[in-house]
Amino acid sequence: MVEVRNADFCMEQIANSGQCFRINKLGSADIWQVVAFGKVLAVHRVDRNTFIFHCSPEEFQSIWVDYFDLRRDYGMIKNLILMSDDPFLRSAVAHGSGLRILHQDLWEVIVSFIISQRNSIPRIKSTIEKLCAPHPHAFPSPHTLAQYEEKDFCNLGLGYRARYLMDMVGSVEDGTFDMEYLKTLGSGDAIAYLKKFNGIGEKVANCIVLYGLHRLEAFPVDTWISRIIRNQYGGNFDTKSLSPYAGVVQQYMFFYQRSLRRLGNVP
């Protein structure tokens, strides 16, 4: 076991931030299960800033430090935002103070966000659980998914997204899509490369770059963020001024807006 003390870390906020779909609460206790990179991790919150990671110190250092971006000072990022005169962002940071950008497996992110299009988080999670059911601790590789037919993906609830996933799997298998090459590209070039493939538009490409390549300057714009930009900023929001942490700011905005909706404080 490894004890982690961090004031800028909250499993519940991370699990409900829409960036990962394989983090779940275990029962009524403040214990969360994370499945990533073929491993299963339990994280137990002891008090406000103290967490027990149920893994070896070696596994913690080799996988989970990077996965949870624990080397980065999120307190510094939050302070930069809190110094601004933007009341919405200040409120968003205060509300989601434990959010972090996860550094996930690139292939899992590509599949997850192809599935995510015009989809709710519960349905995305359900589909991914079904996809992973044959090997619940591992995410199916491109070669494994190449054995599926389009009807198999449809039976998992993908609907029209089944064709997008079929095309992506085929592109990886025949070498048209090169994940290793993608990793070498800057954010702008990576987004342009991803958009060449069927089913990947601006928003999904930005999600892949942010969560799969861990490029924190990426800024995905979905319906939630579009609503914020329209209602809070009159349709004009300068993401360049947020660089190099625009993706972190996006998470604060997204999480805060969804929380307000659940509380009935926004239309």
User: Hey, where are the domains in the chain?
Assistant: 2-95, 106-212
Residue 263 has what pLDDT?
54
Q: Which residues, 6 or more positions from 23, have their beta carbon under 8 angstroms from its beta carbon?
A: 11, 14, 15, 32, 33, 34, 35
CA triple 125-131-135, angle to 5 deg: 115
DSSP state of 140: P
Structure pTM? 0.92
Give the pLDDT band of residue 93 (cuts 50, 70, 90).
very high
Which residues lie closer than 8 Å to 173 by C-beta, 6 or more apart? Answer: 142, 143, 146
- The pLDDT tens digits of the residues spanning 203-215 come to 999 999 999 999 9
CATH topology of domain 106-212: Endonuclease III; domain 1 (1.10.340)
| 2-95: in CATH 3.30.310.260 | yes
Percent of residues, the chain, with pLDDT higher than 90: 73
Weakest mean pLDDT among 63-67, 81-85, 168-172: 81-85
Candidate from 13-17, 67-71, 135-139 with smallest mean pLDDT: 135-139
11 neighbors 43 (Cβ within 8 angstroms): yes
Q: State the Cα–Cα distance between residues 45 and 128, nearest whole angstrom.
A: 26
